[in-house]
Amino acid sequence: MVYLTKDKTYHIDDAVREFLFTQLGENPHALSCHLNNEIVTVYAFGVASPAELNVMKSGDQKMLIDFKSRQFESVKDELKEQISTILGRDVGKVHSAITEDGLRIINFCLKEY
């Protein structure tokens, strides 16, 4: 079992924020990190630009959400390694979704020993 200490939460938030900014050009205004069983979930609030929010509200959100999902998938292994190092546990799978209002949700599924 992994415990999400304040220190680990800080380092996860920092790693995710840096990753989103450098790899995807996203600059979330807030992050929230939670542990549920063997899944660490990070909520990144406000990752969509004003123009992206307009596209999502205009009915073309599927195209933009698909694009942003493919972007994340192409670079997620770097973040997966960073989170594994911070937690001292292997991360099995990483899933990300983005909502129409600019919330990115990232799930890190930890491998069992």
Write out residues in the chain with pLDDT < 50, as ranges: none
First to last CA, the chain: 9
Q: Would you list the DSSP string of 68-106?
A: HHHHHHHHHHHHHHHHHHHHTS-EEEEEEEE-TTS-EEE
Tally of domains within the chain? 1
pTM for the model stands at: 0.92
pLDDT of residue 109: 97
Question: Residue 106: which CATH number?
Answer: 3.30.980
pLDDT of residue 113: 61
Domain that holds residue 69: 6-110
Q: What gap in Å lies between CA 81 and CA 102, rounded to an integer?
A: 25
Structural domain contains residue 1: no
Structural domain contains residue 38: yes
Give CA separation, 16 vs 32, 56, 58, 66, in Å: 10, 23, 29, 20
Structural domain contains residue 24: yes
pLDDT of residue 3: 79
Structural domain contains residue 76: yes
